[in-house]
Structure 1
Amino acid sequence: MSAPNPHATNPQATGTSDALRQRAVELDAADPLAGYRSHFIGTETDLSYLDGNSLGRPLKRTPGDISTFIHEGWGGRLIRGWDEEWLELPQAIGDQLGRAVLGAAPGQTIIADSTTVVLYKLIRAALAAVKDPTRTEIVLDTDNFPTDRYLVEGIAGEEGLTLRWIDADPSSGVTLDQVREAVGPATAVVLLSHVAYRSGFLADLPGITAAVHDAGALVVWDLCHSAGSVELELDACGVDFAAGCTYKYLNGGPGSPAFAYVKARHLGGLSQPIWGWMGRKDAFEMGPGYEAAPGIRGFLSGTPAIFGMIAMRGTLDLIEEAGMPAIREKSRRLTAYALELHDAWLAPAGVRLATPRDPELRGSHITVDHPAFREVTAALWEKDVIPDFRAPQGIRIGLSPLSTGFTEVHRGMDAIRALLPAD
């Protein structure tokens, strides 16, 4: 049997549920990453999990990894564990994340804090690095994730800076042309999300980064919805700073720590604003005054969150094995099939697609809108079909490439169709 076309609607599979289900079976059979699903807890059940872009499933190895850490590391080595391994984990796992996911050479990525705290550090560090008093503007967009907007509003208030807003279309995202129009001689820093949290729109990271640099400014990228599902080449694209969470496509678990990427050329002499003992040159000297640790370690502040790092290490191992090109291809296939089901079932019932159709312009989730979706989502959860609701009327269908199957997508979308109110 020849492999089905992963990117276009199949005209022979747009009618009955049986035909669409058979299409899912064929896609699962042709999927070279299908075997990775068995590594995740819960994938053997009939539950349809369509929210991997909010919280990833745990790996089956994670309970054993954490148990070993509790009994042998924490319980066996006790405080000796800090000197023997734990103090180095933020950078060691950061380097693995850089290598496997971010396209980053060693020494530029570290695991620390929450995304909010990391973004605050990076934005303030970027502003300090500009060193031009005439550059008084921060560029951001109106539909970025709330944390990003709130942070920049607060920083602008603290520093007496001006915000220049890009009016983003909630059904798409920030375009290269919009960025070119927004940046100029007064621009200090641009903060954008690589994948829009509502629509799944995939921004032109290389093009936008180059446009920001052409204007003499620096860029901070939020990678929360792309790290682990979309190929990234931060070094090659000249990205200055980036942050992201690890509980979505990296499966670190609820509240697992975020990551910070700082391009090597910015690390020398750059200061971040939250000085803590773990980011000091000699943390255990406990002496007066603060001198930052050299390199990326200077972006640490407090004690590292070891449990979340242990959980994400398993997914990083899988990503290195599978490779991001194959993971991204699976992401395209999953979202293409979800669009096929939307067109066959949901669009005729009045559901509106709020995600780009071009697979090169979307990440690993799609959003569909309908006035009944708040109530529909609550009913879906009761039926073990778990998408994500985003006000005012959107359901996000998040498809994590390593843990989501096509039959699972069919089952979930069929449940959405069944719960839509009749005209």
Structure 2
Amino acid sequence: MPPFDVPEGDPFGPHNLPYGVFSLPGSTDRTVGVRLGDHVLDAGAAAAALGSPYVSLLARPSLNPLLAAGRTAWSDVRRALTAWVTVPSHQETIAGFLHPLPDVTLHLPFEVADYVDFYASEHHARNVGRIFRPDAADSLTPNWKHLPIGYHGRSGTVVVSGTDVVRPSGQRKASADPVPAFGPSIRLDIEAEVGFVVGVPTPMGRPVGLADFREHVFGLCLLNDWSARDIQAWEYVPLGPFLGKSFATSVSAWITPLDALEASRVTPPQRTHPLLEYLDDSLFADEPGGYDLRISVAINGHVVSEPPFSTMYWTAAQQLAHLTVNGASLRTGDLYGSGTVSGPSEHERGSLLELTWNGTQPLELPDGKRTFLEDGDVVTLSAWAPGPHGVRVGLGEVVGRVVGRGA
């Protein structure tokens, strides 16, 4: 089938057009690509062949120049790309710049600046509270309904889908152990999340309000924030996550622009506590801040969970507003994760910590029981969102294989 003849209903049709960075066989040169069906378009080469003014943004080894260009440029480039892959005269010119996906190497699509991870799912937070504080009157901490809780992560260990994840080592101490032990984590977990990619930066001292979210955030991607639960449990008091989180965070090779997800915007869950003005999204009822993303989590090809992103209590706009309300600056390439996505049912939990209830209820997989991940396990996150006219918008998957240290 010719590359432009994408089957009707393909989640990566012209209505989607996510961005990535790729290289061709035998070459180390990287350039921006746009996915169309099971092909990738060399966007820079296409722009040059068509005499487009966007060559300077697309013929680059990273998405960062496009990210920094701002919302007007994002919309203009998207309109141009849509025309290039749908107008017959343009198709004739750029046909030679479409490459089958299996023939290219995909890379981390942008240079990650800072990385922040949130804790925005009420269902996840309540599950964690019930696991670790079963006698508490409220499974949520007192601050949870008043602000999006988050922590600063490590941008240098953000890796692209397909990168192996080495089992981390560190200190761990069970409650019955007299002293801590050192060694590989034995409670390695995943966190099914959505990552948001910042384009336009801000200076220090200038918060970003809810209304300006779409002026600064370019798009989103699936994200797996790998977690060593035993290391995390011993180290996190009193300052929070550290080595149990910083060893690896996997992201998709494809960044879906927000403009491709207009049809999937939904109203977030009802607010149960009054919000301070800078977080009060009731003032923007005509601009719903949630996204209806249907996520699937598979271990060794077996689906174990289907978390719904539409249930997230705190929206990406609220997270960005809170992230900057103290005057913290934004940089092009900043990445922030939604936190684990979990829904109300057992089959909608986005981590093994919840799915196995801290290891007390093992999962039954075709290749054996699991409480936490074993060496050789392959975790795959995939997702789709409702698109225009009933079609689906596909999100690029995130795949990671666990390998033992020294493997």
TM-score (norm 1): 0.24
TM-score (norm 2): 0.25
Per residue, is there more helix in 1 or in 2? 1
Where relative contact order (Cα < 8 A, 6+ residues apart) is larger, the structure is: 1
